[in-house]
Structure 1
Amino acid sequence: MAVSLGDKLVVAISSTALFDLQESHKIFMEQGVKAYSEYQIEHEDQPLEPGAAFGLVKKLLALNDTGSKSHPKVEVVLISRNSADTGLRIFNSVEAHQLNITRAAFTGGRTPYQYVSAFNAHLFLSTNPDDVRKALNSGYAAATIVSKTGLTAGAQPESFELKFAFDGDAVIFSDEAEQIFKKQGLNAFTQSEREAAKNPLKGGPFKNFLAALHKIQKEFTLEECPIRTALVTARSAPAHERVVRTLRTWNIRIDEALFLGGLSKAEFLKAYDADVFFDDQQDHCFSAKDLVATGHVPHGIANPE
């Protein structure tokens, strides 16, 4: 009988998002594929240091220590442009850091985005914007990790509570409202949202991922839940009402909602103590990337191809 990942939350991640491969990448860019491959093989017994998304992955896998051990909640899979040869160092690093990751796709330099659907992943994290765009265009939640490598490297988490922060328009929701804002301005956006307050927004690329998180959350009481979610949006009243009603219609819980009315999101993400933040706007990502693992979602009107 074939093995299935069942109803787990599946997160696919590139080796460059999980580990610090800056030195290796420099060799690749300056000396080429052959030198890169030789370097990785020569150093395959030397574990790689944590990368920008390492802390997030560690906390994701820790969710499997809650509840029934026979029914793990999360599966993390590697999807990498490395070859099987150079991928050996990646798996050795996984073992050295005691990460329970057993499945991978190494594509030998070719884009690996097609394996996001093969693994039926709810989320794909990479440092390659092209791979991320292709995954998004295929209907999967995906983000380009833009934070500095080692942002959370080796830090012992003060809490095992896993905190996600999401922008609204073009991330959780479609960019239908943002299109009006970009094309017609704030007044037209506000008026349109007031008139459409009781009409739910369409889902954006991260709706299904948020729903998968909510499914795990429902297994716990509010006090004991290891996952916390926050909406961090530039919207303000009266444009907040449509957002609230949309989430209510979807029957998806958001634990915290920050309606900032255009204020910088960075300090609020710091106050929330987010583990990861997803936003479609590059300027919001830039202001947050030194404080929290940040994923740029190249989707919607703010990100023309």
Structure 2
Amino acid sequence: MPVTLDGKLVIAISSRALFDLDASNKIFEEKGEEPYTKYQIEHENELLNHGVAFPLIKRLLKLRDPETGEPMVEIILISKNDPNTGLRVFNSIEQHKLDITRAAFTRGRSPYKYLKAFKADLFLSANPEDVSLALANGHASATIYAGTYVKQEDDMEEIRIAFDGDAVIFSDEAEKIYQQMGLEEFKKHEAEKSEIPLPPGPFMSFLTALNNVQKAYKNKEKKTIRTALVTARNAPAHKRAIKTLRSWGITVDEAFFLGGLDKAAILESFNPHIFFDDQHTYCINASKVVPTGHVPSGVTNSY
């Protein structure tokens, strides 16, 4: 019987999201492929520093089924390098003792078409074009912001993941009303439709997959994964968001309805290992305090 990834949380990640490859990427952008290849081969035994998503990935790889002890998460390296230059990344994976054994090297071509083959629940990349293509083809995807936050590692086993609501977990149905007709019409619309679940957004399936992992740990004293909804909604628009999640059979551990307040202060307190939002304004401020991924979804990204 062939090996399968069925039942696992599968995350595809680019090498630039996992490691700090700014120096080599600058060579590629300024001088081209040949000098870049030469540089990577000359430095292939040098240990790469952590990228923005490294702490998240490291923690996810530690998750084991409480009953069988088998890994619950599979991380797939998805790289636009060729196998030759990609050797440097795998050398660093080994040196950092990350249990990542599967990869796709596509030599400059966007890797989105291989996400379906790997059954990826999430794709993280530093390349906005690759993320947009993946998202357009039905894959939960986010562009990792470089970030200016102070990197903090705590000793807790807990993995914290935060999500915006509209155009991320939910569709942009309500966001369109807000953008086109203003705040008061948005509140009225959401109050009138409070009993009607919102259509799912691009990250609904990923949140569902996280809930499935959480269920495996339901008998443990401490939660292994903790999720939060951090949204610009407030009362009365909060009701539809809560009832939508309820109708899907999905739960979040914490929810913050901020009514347009900046999200950075709340995020700094929750301290997620990653936060996902569709709006650049929120992402820019959030990336100063926590690892942040931009989801190029919905009406705000069509302007």
Alpha-carbon contact 2:53-2:291 (below 8 Å) kept: yes
1:81-160 superposed matches below 5 A:
81-148=80-147, 152=151, 156-160=153-157
Q: 2:169 — aligned with what?
A: 172
Q: Name 1:289's counterpart in structure 2.
A: 287
Aligned partners of 1:112 and 1:69: how far apart in 2? Answer: 33
2:291 is the counterpart of 1:264? no
Q: Deviations over 1:88-114 (max 9, x none)?
A: 001000000000000000001111111
Aligned length: 302
Partner of 2:10: 10
* Residue of structure 2 equivalent to 1:56: 56
**Residue 215 (structure 1) aligned to one of 209, 212, 215:** 212
SS, match of residue 61 in structure 2: helix
Query: What amino acid is the match of 1:40?
Result: Q
Counterpart secondary structure, 2:236:
coil
SS in 1 for 2:124: strand
CA distance in 2, matches of 1:209, 1:177: 21
Alignment of 1:189-268 (within 5 A): 189-221=186-218, 223-268=221-266
1:45-98 superposed Cα distances (whole Å, 9 cap, x missing partner): 11111111111111111213x624543210000001000000100100000000
Instruction: Kindly state the Cα deviation for residue 181 of structure 1 after the two structures are TM-superposed.
Output: 0.3
Q: 1:68-87 alignment to 2 at 5 Å? A: 68=67, 70-87=69-86
Aligned to 1:191, the other structure's residue is in SS state helix
Amino acid at match of 1:206: F
Secondary structure of the 2:85 match is helix
SS of the aligned residue for 1:113 comes to: helix
Cα shift readout 1:178-228 (whole Å, capped 9, x = no counterpart): 000000001110000000000000000000000000011112237422000
Gaps of 5+ in 2: none
Cα distance in 2 for residues equivalent to 1:181 and 1:270: 27
- Structure 1 unpaired stretches of 5+: none
1:185 aligns with 2:182: yes
TM-score (norm 2): 0.96
Given that residues 151 and 293 in structure 1 are in contact (C-alpha distance below 8 angstroms), is that contact kept between their aligned partners in structure 2?
no
In the TM superposition, what whole-angstrom CA distance separates every residue of 1:13-39 from its partner, at most 9, and x where no partner exists?
Answer: 000000000110111122210000011
Distance 2:292 2:139 in 1: 18
- TM-score between both structures, scaled by the size of structure 1: 0.96
How far apart are the structure 1 equivalents of 2:42 and 2:68?
Answer: 37
Inter-partner Cα distance in structure 1 for 2:165 and 2:246: 14
Check 1:31–1:148 CA distance in 2 against 1; reply closer, same or farther (3 A cut).
Answer: same
Partners of 1:128 and 1:232 in 2: CA distance? 25
**What amino acid does structure 2 have at the position aligned with 1:195?**
E
Quote the offset at 1:148 in angstroms. 2.8
195-204 vs 106-115, which moves further: 106-115
